[in-house]
Structure 1
Amino acid sequence: MSDAPFHHSGPVTIDGVTYPHAEIREYRSQGGLRSWSGSLSFHANSQPTGFSPDLAQAGPVKLGLLDGRAGQAFLSMSFNGSVWTLDIQGTGPAPA
Structure 2
Amino acid sequence: MSPRYRSSSNSAGRVIAVVADVMALILGLWILMYLLDANRGNDFVQFIQDAARWLAGWSHDLFTFDEQWARVVAGYGLAAVVYLFIGHAIANRVHRH
Q: Scaled by the length of structure 1, what TM-score is found?
A: 0.26
Q: Which has the higher contact order (CA 8 A, sep 6+)?
A: 2
Between Structure 1 and Structure 2, the one with more strand by share is: 1
Q: Scaled by the length of structure 2, what TM-score is found?
A: 0.25
Larger Rg: 2
